[in-house]
Amino acid sequence: MLGHPRSAIAAAAIFSAAPLLAHVVSISTGELRVDGPLAVYELRIPMYEVAHVAHPETELMDHVRFAGAHRTSSSCHQEGSDYVCVANLEFARRIDSVEVDCTLYQITVPNHVHLLHVVEGANSDQAVFDQTTPRREVRFHPPAPLEVLVRGLAGGVSRAIVSPAALFLVALVLAARSAREATLLAAMYLAGEWIARPIAPRIPWPLAPRFIEAAMALTVAYLAVEILALPAAGKRWAVVLVLGLFHGLAFAALPATYLAGATLIQCVLIAILAWAALRWWTTMIRRAGAISLLVIGLGWFAMRLMISRS
């Protein structure tokens, strides 16, 4: 896959940014086990995540709150490469649902994601928290398959829209020189996103959300350079396939329904953009658009870089 020269150049250019992003961040996980009015919450977070937190033994648990619960005790300790906190909670009565506020992104990084799993006997539920969705209700009964599907699809749609992926779709359409090529590029991009899921667990080093977002921004800039410098280049589909891998990393640790939602909204956006591009966008408009995307992509990358050094 990386054998194509321009694909290798694209991958090398993006990964060259990795040493610049020194602060490595990973997704944290939590489990809430409920037994009547009593509950035990366990938080697991990588040690490098808490290195800059002044008092992790208290601050972490203060940023995960369960409505109606009184924390009777809590303790934290290092366990291998993880920092583990355990809290005992007591509710006023037996509950069948609880509203959870998770603001760990405030003391870690803005892109931090917390995966929460709740269990009561044979019943369970799960929820994903980040800066865009810091509050969710979890229920102690098996959610309907349709509910799980809709929840995941909605989460994927929102993530795709607010990320550099939206800009990349514009670049992808600008790079297509015909309806057939637009379809091929779209298929390769979406395939790259899905291929990233089985690849991500095999990457030997942790990738920061900041690095992933910066890499996504660089894919926009790289494709813009292709449009400007190599307007007649062949096998552009190979480059787009590789660039799609970096976008897929943003969803690799999340439930597959999130990527399915992102794929759905991206297909719709690509269809709309391609329809407009193949009818109305002139060569001048395409070049102006590519220049704008190059500036925006590099600016987005620089912004993430500056934040990582702060």
Judge contact between 210 and 23, C-beta under 8 A.
yes
Judge contact between 127 and 113, C-beta under 8 A.
no
Q: Which of 171, 181, 166 is nearest to 250 (CA)?
A: 166
Arithmetic mean of pLDDT over the chain: 82
Q: Which residue has the higher pLDDT, 11 or 151?
A: 151
pLDDT at position 6, please?
61
Q: Which of 124, 99, 104 is nearest to 114 (CA)?
A: 104
pLDDT in tens, 264-299: 899 999 999 988 887 787 878 888 989 999 999 888
Q: Quick one: average pLDDT of 195-209?
A: 77
- DSSP conformation letters of 178-222: SHHHHHHHHHHHHHHHHHHHHHGGG-SS---HHHHHHHHHHHHHH
pLDDT at position 164, please?
79
Q: In the chain, pLDDT over 70 holds for what percent of residues?
A: 83
DSSP state, 62?
H
145 HSE (CA, 13 A, CB side)? 0
- Residue 117 scores a pLDDT above 80: yes
* Host H or E run for residue 53: none
User: Residue 310 and residue 290: Cα distance in Å, rounded?
Assistant: 30
pLDDT at position 116, please?
93
User: Residue 272 and residue 173: Cα distance in Å, rounded?
Assistant: 10
Do the strands 38-46 and 28-35 form a parallel or antiparallel pair, or are they unpaired?
antiparallel
Q: Which residue has the higher pLDDT, 250 or 33?
A: 33
pLDDT in tens, 3-28: 456 655 555 545 454 443 333 345 89
- Residue 241 scores a pLDDT above 90: yes
| Strand arrangement, sheet containing 64-66 | 64-66, 97-102, 135-139
Judge contact between 237 and 1, C-beta under 8 A.
no
Residue 265 phi/psi, 5° resolution? -70, -35
Confidence tier at 143 by pLDDT (50, 70, 90) = low
pTM for this predicted structure: 0.60
Q: Quick one: average pLDDT of 76-90?
A: 93
